[in-house]
Structure 1
């Protein structure tokens, strides 16, 4: 790996970590940077999952007080997330790079549209029912969302916030805390599958992980100074440009 590539990935990690902390959608930037430095699409997707995991962990820790009040009730959702992520990751590994490459622009467009609609999908506050979280219907919906998350993580957070808002009680912050915790489960299971399949580019991941951690920590500072619409517009533009790039490249 060239020094310039390492610097590019580190900076992309900083930016993706910050964007995830503020508005979500940082996976677009991580995946795009990895493909830019020549990483094959399946490997880029797997490596991006590894790089984003520290950000999910730090985001969950920021909601620790909320997590401690609901983790018992959320166990069913965690199990559904693990099962869905396993299925999605195995589906990804069953494909070859040309097949996945053909799907990437459509996945990017779908994820970009989902991300753009994020503010409209933000769940409305519902009366909190204490520590209760999780139901059979909610677990089934979460399983479906997790298949997507294990297969292609871009837009996963927005999707989960929307689906959790349909099935869970509590305000936005509780749902966001639950989403962050479930993201750890999905990413961890997918990473185990990707590592066992030998599709993670470890040097590139090592260059990106410190940047993601730094960007996630600095996201609070960024949130106070940069309007979210600007960040969201930037992420949407990156998603569309990546989709166009893969359409043209074929």
Structure 2
């Protein structure tokens, strides 16, 4: 890592902290910066887990009061996060990610559409079919596990998909969903980091520089996010999701 790269990596961490607390998906900003620091593709992906971890840790702390309101099924969700993270990270280490990059834009398109249409789908199901998502929690948990496997493998945009799932299958507010998202992704990320570190694919110096920026930004962003009205937070997440998807098509297709 060159000395001139430090300010860029730190600034990337600041941006990552803001985006990850608000919506997730900061990897599309930080991943290219880590590649620019001379890492291989898999090194950049693994190091990215380290760089953005503080944002979710800080988010978990700040949203702790919201988390207390949705403790039901939290233990199961933490188990799904842990087991999904192990499986996804194992797959990455043993198969590589080159082939997976080809489908990333399409997965993010699905994620963005799911988040955008989630409330409409939920209202239509409730109005036309008397659908109660809380009666289909088993399906929610299956989908969440799949998202955690994806998260352990690559993770870009997983927060957006989780928001969509919570929107359809629960009555949580955006802040309560954010609380669960932060704590589960934190656990999954810690486990994935342990697996990647054991495999020797993490470049620690650039990761820690970016992590320091994410830690600072994550704290202040989470504090601000709690004061922003529900609909403004949702609009901000959707705008970021659209931008994230567009960047994916530009980069990988």
Global fold match (TM > 0.5): yes
TM bin, normalised by shorter chain, reads 0.7 to 0.9
How does the TM-score come out when normalised to structure 2?
0.79
2 CA distance for matches of 1:19 and 1:186?
18
Mapping of residues 1-250 of structure 1, within 5 Å: 1-71=1-71, 73-96=73-96, 100-111=97-108, 114-115=111-112, 118-121=115-118, 136-219=138-221, 236-237=242-243, 240-241=246-247, 243-247=249-253
Whether contact under 8 Å (2:105, 2:252) holds in the other structure is no
Aligned to 1:129: none
Q: Specify whether residues 233 and 165 from structure 1 end up closer, same or farther in structure 2 by C-alpha distance, changes over 3 A only.
A: closer
Whether contact under 8 Å (1:46, 1:200) holds in the other structure is yes
1:242 Cα offset (Å): 5.3
Whether contact under 8 Å (1:105, 1:244) holds in the other structure is no
Q: Report how many residues are paired.
A: 237
Q: Specify whether residues 116 and 15 from structure 1 end up closer, same or farther in structure 2 by C-alpha distance, changes over 3 A only.
A: farther
What's the RMSD between the two structures over aligned residues? 3.2
2 CA distance for matches of 1:20 and 1:164?
17
2 CA distance for matches of 1:200 and 1:148?
19
2 CA distance for matches of 1:41 and 1:16?
19
1:72 Cα offset (Å): 5.9
Task: Tell me the alpha carbon deviations over residues 201-227 of structure 1, each in whole angstroms, 9 at most, x when there is no partner.
Answer: 1011011001111221332688689x8
How does the TM-score come out when normalised to structure 1?
0.80
2 CA distance for matches of 1:27 and 1:2?
21
1 CA distance for matches of 2:99 and 2:162?
25
Q: SS in structure 2 opposite 1:94?
A: helix
1:25 Cα offset (Å): 2.5
2 CA distance for matches of 1:234 and 1:79?
29
